[in-house]
Amino acid sequence: MTGLKIAEYSVPVPVIQGGMGVGISLSGLAGSVAACGGVGIISTAQIGYREPDYDTNPLEANLRAVGKEIRKARRIAPHGVIGVNIMVATREYEAYVEAAVEAGADLVISGAGLPMTLPAAAAAGEEKKKAAGSRADYGSENGPKRAALAPIVSSRKAAEVICRYWKKKYRAVPDLLVVEGPLAGGHLGFSAEQLEDIPALHYEEEIRSILEFAAEYSKAAGKKIPVAVAGGIYDRADMDRALALGADAVQMATRFVTTWECDAADAYKQAYIRAKREDIVLTKSPVGMPGRAIRNAFLERAAKERIPHGRCHGCITSCRPGETPYCITEALIAAVRGDVENGLLFAGENAWKARKMEHVAEIMEELSRK
């Protein structure tokens, strides 16, 4: 196994911990993964939910928390690679990208939509970072570096569209492609019909095709675009299969939930450990995309009736607060706080495999062993 190079960043273990919102992957998890030689990813989805002014001024609270969490993760892993996951469907998406880059994120990963404006928003963040010299106090040895930019795609077509647009509009090339397959947790880039028969998707062929495209495009652009494969990668054997296909790295999320370092409440982790295979289900999220989660009283209730919600925190562009079947932000915050019957517990297809709590260092040891 070789390390991973993403733009100017060297990653000893080719493992990216997937961003998990709301609040599941913050500085605790991301810092620990980065300290063990992988890439730690903080999810910016409603990241400020614990800030005192979150209810009155959610955007400001969230943008402030982006910087706070990056700095906290950096203290855990002063020399590690730490990035953020920012969903394109986030309201004020560009403001989050700017805030993360300004605060010194090494990498921005963006999916849940096509990140067409990512290079421009990141460039604005770089300008602010330069002006403030904001990376200087992070103990970095080599001084500020440009944040690497990585779209998440589920098809070759999406990769092509993004690459073509970035080239034409910004003369930019992605620094990494994350290919997310149908076994992932959270929102999925597939239709409900496609997810009805996952084997029929022959997703490995799609991965091969994306790898082929990335290789051709890298050659034409004169810059290697590494590819990370995500979705259902749970152990070393899964990882080795992905690397054997030709991937440069894997992105894993579900496996890291049941760690002592994960930022969710203990009850959330215990729900993973209790879950059986049949408890991992597909659901239609109010965001309009299918999602994968653990079956609980909340999902049963949501299937039957509209769940009233409180104040809107302006999370997702596609949500109509007056019509939404439930508030996804409220449901995800309830879950991360440990209310596992009244919350939405996103989980990957393999969440039932969790048997016990682990330390991030143990998982990273399994994934990096020669």
Ligand X SMILES: Cc1cc2nc3c(=O)[nH]c(=O)nc-3n(C[C@H](O)[C@H](O)[C@H](O)COP(=O)(O)O)c2cc1C
Q: Report the interface residues with ligand X, using CB under 6 A.
A: 18-21, 24, 43, 45, 85, 87, 111-112, 152, 180, 183-186, 230-233, 251-254, 346-348, 350
Q: Which is nearer to ligand X, 51 or 235 (CB)?
A: 235
The first and second tokens of residue 293, run together, are 């989660």
What is the rounded CA–CA span in Å between residue 218 and residue 145? 21
HSE on the CB side for 137, CA within 13 Å? 10
What is the rounded CA–CA span in Å between residue 68 and residue 27? 9
Q: Which is nearer to ligand X, 61 or 184 (CB)?
A: 184
Query: Which one-letter amino acid corresponds to residue 344?
Result: L
Q: Which is nearer to ligand X, 213 or 272 (CB)?
A: 272
Q: Which is nearer to ligand X, 16 or 35 (CB)?
A: 16
As measured in angstroms, the least distance from the Cβ of 257 to ligand X is: 6
As measured in angstroms, the least distance from the Cβ of 256 to ligand X is: 8
Nearest to 94 by CA among 120, 70, 55, 68: 120
What is the phi/psi pair of residue 243, to 5°? -70, -35
Question: Do residues 339 and 295 touch, judged by C-beta distance below 8 A?
Answer: no
Q: Which is nearer to ligand X, 174 or 186 (CB)?
A: 186
Q: Which is nearer to ligand X, 23 or 37 (CB)?
A: 23
Q: Coil, strand, or helix at residue 331?
A: helix
As measured in angstroms, the least distance from the Cβ of 132 to ligand X is: 27
Question: Do residues 135 and 144 touch, judged by C-beta distance below 8 A?
Answer: yes
Q: Which is nearer to ligand X, 135 or 162 (CB)?
A: 162
As measured in angstroms, the least distance from the Cβ of 160 to ligand X is: 20
What is the rounded CA–CA span in Å between residue 118 and residue 336? 28
As measured in angstroms, the least distance from the Cβ of 20 to ligand X is: 3
What is the rounded CA–CA span in Å between residue 232 and residue 201? 15
As measured in angstroms, the least distance from the Cβ of 181 to ligand X is: 8
Across the strands, what pairs with 316?
A: 90
Nearest to 335 by CA among 90, 23, 59, 87: 23
Q: Which is nearer to ligand X, 134 or 363 (CB)?
A: 363
As measured in angstroms, the least distance from the Cβ of 137 to ligand X is: 28
Report the relative pairing of strands 280-284 and 290-294 from DSSP bridges. Answer: antiparallel
The DSSP element (H or E) to which 39 belongs, if any, is: strand 39-43
As measured in angstroms, the least distance from the Cβ of 361 to ligand X is: 18
